[in-house]
């Protein structure tokens, strides 16, 4: 299993994650590694970590998205994202530009 960093218990489960870069990144990575079995569980724990949970969710969510891939992200969660269809369209266009250059 994944061992927690020495200070992680000071932040998680106490409804507060300090908005300092090091603790935010460490908490994000720790939660992501703890929840490699389920995208939904990972996102839920990231977003309910408390304190600077929007940043924790953004960092950990990016890791989870890259790890699980789009095919493994539940559709009901995708549909909760505002303008998700537009985001998909733009990301597809950006990918085409990338492929042309590289």
21-78 tens-digit pLDDT: 888 888 899 899 999 999 999 999 999 888 788 899 999 999 999 999 999 999 999 9
Does the pLDDT value for residue 87 go beyond 60?
yes
CA-based nearest residue to 31, from 51, 59, 68? 59
24 or 98: whose pLDDT is higher? 98
| Helix residue ranges per DSSP H, the chain | 21-34, 39-47, 53-68, 75-78, 84-101
The reported pLDDT for the residue numbered 50 is 80
Show me where the domains of the chain are located: 1-68, 74-102
CA-based nearest residue to 57, from 79, 37, 90, 81? 81
Q: Is 69 left (phi over 0), alpha (psi -120 to 50) or beta?
A: left
The reported pLDDT for the residue numbered 15 is 47
């Amino acid at each position: 299993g994944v061992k927690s960093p020495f200070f992680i218990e000071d932040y998680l489960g106490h409804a507060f994650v300090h908005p300092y870069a090091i603790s935010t990144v460490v908490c994000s990575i720790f939660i992501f590694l703890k929840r490699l079995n389920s995208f939904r569980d990972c996102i839920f724990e990231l977003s309910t970590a408390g304190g600077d949970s929007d940043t924790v969710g953004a960092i950990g969510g990016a890791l989870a998205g890259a790890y699980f891939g789009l095919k493994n992200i539940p559709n009901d969660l995708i549909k909760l994202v505002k303008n998700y269809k537009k985001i998909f369209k733009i990301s597809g266009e950006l990918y085409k530009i990338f492929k042309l250059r590289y």
